[in-house]
A and B are shown apart, each in its own frame.
Chain A
């Protein structure tokens, strides 16, 4: 079955710097890769996603890149702000588009003012 590895588990950056979180997956049939942000006491919230027919997607300060050959994808946050501090989860589908999402173990991002 699908296995998703996420690194690093914790990340601390200065406000204004960039943050990068990386994930690898094992199922070559996976074709959907969302990223979620979870703030304390809340459920995860979808922030950006990418499908396998696209190599990169941007939405303001966040971007996601996908390398299907290497089976890895990354989240990039530029000009980080204190409100970006949260736990971020990557995920990948199982069994292509027919399965549920398998999540990485999360990255706790701290942005220091």
Chain B
């Protein structure tokens, strides 16, 4: 597609449930990133994938968070046993490559609300 696509755009879940957030990057982009944006806050790095290399998971806030990227394209961010503090907008971005500094293209995000 022309841009980064994220689904769902909104998700309301009960505390303790698991959720899966999906990201379809721009075709041909080898680097994919997940960020979290809490209300009125900046962008908190979560995880990135670069080609077939092992992902950098250093930003994941707890072991309840995990992410996969299948076939070097679509990525899924999974949050297990959701807590109210997980409520935020989860943003996915992709770029041509991590090296040589290509700008990110962001999706519109998934707004997650844990009730």
Which of A64-72, A73-81, A92-100 forms contacts with chain B?
A: A92-100
Contact B100 A41 (CB under 8 A): no
Contact B43 A100 (CB under 8 A): no
Which residues of B are found within 8 Å of A42, using beta-carbon distances? 108
Contact A98 B106 (CB under 8 A): no
Contact B100 A43 (CB under 8 A): no
How many residues on A have C-beta within 8 angstroms of the other chain's C-beta atoms? 25
Contact B48 A49 (CB under 8 A): no
Our count of residue pairs bridging A and B at CB distance below 8 angstroms stands at 54
Contact A32 B101 (CB under 8 A): yes
Asked whether B109 is an interface residue with its Cβ less than 8 Å from the other chain, the reply is yes
Contact B98 A98 (CB under 8 A): yes
Asked whether A102 is an interface residue with its Cβ less than 8 Å from the other chain, the reply is yes
Q: B41: which of A6, A101, A105 is its contact (CB, 8 Å)? A: A105
Which residues of A are found within 8 Å of B108, using beta-carbon distances? 41-43
Q: 6 shortest A-B CB distances, which residue pairs?
A: A43-B106, A32-B101, A105-B42, A103-B43, A46-B103, A43-B108
